[in-house]
Amino acid sequence: MLHSEIEDLFRLDKKVALVTGGAHHLGLDAASILAAAGCNVAITSRSAESAASSARVIREKYGVDTFSGALDQTNFAAVAALTESVTAWKG
């Protein structure tokens, strides 16, 4: 079947994506699409609870590993620290 062959071309198994603003709306849609392709997903939001909730939903729906964290993108030190945490999580 052609459809599954095309999907196989775009698999992201064992890859990691960091989706900022991934707890709601377009960010959540992007994180979901990446997870559907097999990508492990790190989700950030200004709210740690929102990020954790969305990460849990994605993990349960797609069976990928997820990471969640609160992030203020205007705080460069926080961005660097979160990036280090995600790197430590999945390298």
Give the Cα separation of 68 and 60 in Å (integer). Answer: 14
Give the Cα separation of 47 and 24 in Å (integer). Answer: 11
Give the Cα separation of 1 and 86 in Å (integer). Answer: 37
Contact between residue 77 and residue 24 where contact means Cβ atoms under 8 Å apart: no
- 52 or 4: whose pLDDT is higher? 52
pTM tops 0.85, yes or no:
yes
Whole-number pLDDT of residue 52: 98
Whole-number pLDDT of residue 2: 59
Length reported for the chain: 91
Give bridge partners of residue 44 from the DSSP assignment.
69
Give the pLDDT band of residue 48 (cuts 50, 70, 90): very high
Contact between residue 66 and residue 42 where contact means Cβ atoms under 8 Å apart: yes
